[in-house]
């Protein structure tokens, strides 16, 4: 019996998945409290989507508060519809009024639908959804738990693009995700271009007529330009720049770890000249051997390196001041420290944020309803004024008949006379012309 228990315990340990944030960090129960509000209880998400879509098609207008209500009421069945409404809102004048709770709700809604999630996160101009530290931590912790380091690293690169690594948990979860992903670098799935659509060639019969000239509009050619940030589409460059960005943030925590990831970042981002300058300055400093071995392995797979690249990888191989340690365990220790110091504070702040969002939603909805009431009231006043003017005109018609005639004259629209060209002179008629007698002509023909 004990042998079976030991075997079971060993098997269970093999399927335990790594996670760093506690279940309480997700705040699932606190987040579900929004559904108990009177606003969301009265709403049917399917009907609301149809109403908003119809309103957008007819008037090209939807409000940010309507989209926020839908986002908070929808469930996982409505991920595609939620993304569609976000895109429609961005095409209206209400785009700048999108509420933070709408972005948070969509990220929670689509965290299990990664294809839609990353499509929206990559198209920031089209959808207006951005990660914050809390949502980035949730997603990375969830993907790490699934051993999906590619998606976790992608979240880290998105945070790098937003230049927001100030939160310790976000910083070290991003570093850990990217480091584990660098063991087996692949192209991020959301950066893989879709396959070209094959168009069936239609064989047209040969005609003897002259072929018609067909002209096609082509795209405007622009000079190639890259800002080396938002224009990055190479997976290695994105991960490498993330390492470079984080390395500057962790200098105070561990200088050797920072130095090591600077070299890995220079290698992946192909900044060999900067890497050589850094190695010249840091000859006396130490590096983690595991990271330098990874840099050397990466360099050995590259072909057609230029002089700077070859020099960089040679200098990495020749560096002697190395530290023996498992780097992922070093990063994990910093993650645990960051979680122990910041998790409870994040939870309390996020609870307050949820409550603020509920209050803001109520206030925004009341303001919107008051605005609509004012608009309806003004329309009613205008209609009433028109009716009163018509009644007044009927009652005082004979007394004001002269003024009414003048108004009618003023309202007449006189169109300019059209010109049809020069008038032709009429033909001159011969005054001595006598038309023939039809009867005399017929008699003459008969006589012949």
In the three-class reduction of DSSP (H, G, I as helix; E, B as strand; rest coil), residue 215 is classed as: coil
| Contacts for 237 with CB less than 8 Å, ≥ 6 apart | 268, 269, 270
Residue 90 backbone phi and psi in degrees, to 5: -70, -15
Q: What is the pTM of this model?
A: 0.78
Q: How far apart are the C-alpha atoms of 247 and 45, rounded to whole Å?
A: 45
Q: What is the pLDDT along the chain (448 residues), one digit of tens a residue?
A: 334 433 333 343 434 456 789 999 999 999 999 999 988 998 898 999 999 999 999 988 899 999 999 999 999 999 999 999 999 999 999 999 999 999 999 999 999 999 999 999 999 999 999 999 999 999 999 999 999 999 999 999 999 999 989 999 999 999 999 999 998 888 888 777 777 656 555 555 655 666 677 888 877 777 777 888 888 889 999 999 999 999 999 999 999 999 999 999 999 999 999 999 999 888 888 999 999 999 999 988 888 888 888 999 998 888 888 888 899 999 999 999 999 999 999 999 999 999 999 999 999 988 888 888 888 888 888 888 988 888 887 887 778 788 877 777 777 777 777 777 777 777 777 777 777 666 666 666 766 6
Q: How far apart are the C-alpha atoms of 35 and 59, rounded to whole Å?
A: 30
Q: How far apart are the C-alpha atoms of 158 and 131, rounded to whole Å?
A: 8
Cα-based angle 292, 294, 299 (whole degrees, multiple of 5): 95
What single-letter DSSP state applies at residue 230? T
Q: How far apart are the C-alpha atoms of 359 and 342, rounded to whole Å?
A: 26
HSE-CB for 285 with a 13 A CA cutoff: 18
Q: How far apart are the C-alpha atoms of 101 and 71, rounded to whole Å?
A: 8
Which tokens belong to 219? 């795209």
| Contacts for 82 with CB less than 8 Å, ≥ 6 apart | 70, 71, 74, 106, 109, 110
Provide the 10 A C-beta neighbour count for residue 52: 22
In the three-class reduction of DSSP (H, G, I as helix; E, B as strand; rest coil), residue 294 is classed as: helix
Q: How far apart are the C-alpha atoms of 313 and 305, rounded to whole Å?
A: 10
């Amino acid at each position: 019996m004990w042998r079976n228990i030991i075997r079971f315990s060993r098997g269970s340990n093999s399927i335990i998945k790594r996670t760093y944030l506690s279940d309480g960090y997700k705040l699932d129960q606190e987040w579900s409290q929004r559904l108990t509000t009177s606003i969301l209880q009265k709403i049917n998400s399917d009907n609301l989507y149809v109403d908003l879509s119809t309103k957008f098609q007819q008037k090209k207008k939807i409000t940010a508060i309507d989209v926020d209500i839908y986002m908070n009421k929808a469930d996982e069945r409505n991920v595609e519809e939620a993304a569609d409404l976000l895109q429609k809102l961005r095409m209206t004048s209400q785009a700048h009024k999108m509420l933070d709770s709408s972005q948070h709700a969509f990220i929670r809604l689509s965290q299990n639908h990664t294809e839609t999630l990353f499509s929206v996160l990559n198209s920031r101009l089209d959808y207006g959804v951005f990660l914050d530290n809390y949502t980035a931590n949730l997603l990375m912790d969830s993907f790490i738990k699934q051993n999906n380091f590619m998606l976790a690293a992608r979240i880290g690169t998105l945070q790098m693009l937003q230049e927001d690594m100030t939160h310790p948990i976000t910083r070290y979860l991003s570093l850990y995700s990217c480091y584990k992903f660098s063991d087996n670098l692949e192209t991020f799935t959301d950066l893989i271009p879709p396959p070209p659509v094959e168009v069936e060639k239609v064989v047209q019969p040969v005609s003897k007529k002259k072929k018609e000239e067909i002209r096609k509009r082509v795209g405007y050619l622009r000079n190639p330009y890259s800002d080396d940030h938002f224009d990055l589409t190479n997976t290695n460059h994105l991960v490498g720049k993330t390492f470079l960005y984080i390395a500057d943030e962790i200098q105070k925590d561990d200088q050797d770890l920072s130095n090591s990831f600077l070299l890995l970042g220079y290698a992946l981002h192909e900044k060999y000249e900067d890497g050589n300058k850094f190695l010249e300055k840091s000859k006396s400093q130490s590096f983690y051997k595991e990271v330098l071995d990874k840099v050397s392995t990466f360099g050995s797979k590259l072909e057609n390196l230029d002089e700077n690249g070859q020099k960089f990888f040679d200098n990495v191989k020749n560096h002697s001041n190395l530290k023996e340690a498992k780097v992922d365990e070093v990063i994990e220790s910093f993650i645990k420290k960051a979680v122990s110091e910041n998790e409870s504070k994040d939870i309390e702040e996020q609870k307050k944020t949820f409550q603020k969002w509920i209050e803001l939603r109520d206030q925004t909805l009341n303001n919107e309803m008051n605005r609509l009431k004012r608009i309806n009231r003004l329309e009613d006043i205008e209609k009433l004024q028109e009716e009163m003017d018509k009644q007044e005109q009927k009652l005082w018609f004979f007394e004001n008949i002269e003024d009414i005639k003048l108004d009618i004259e003023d309202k007449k629209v006189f169109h300019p006379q059209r010109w049809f060209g020069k008038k032709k002179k009429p033909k001159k008629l011969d005054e001595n012309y006598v038309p023939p007698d039809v009867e005399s002509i017929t008699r003459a023909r008969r006589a012949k």
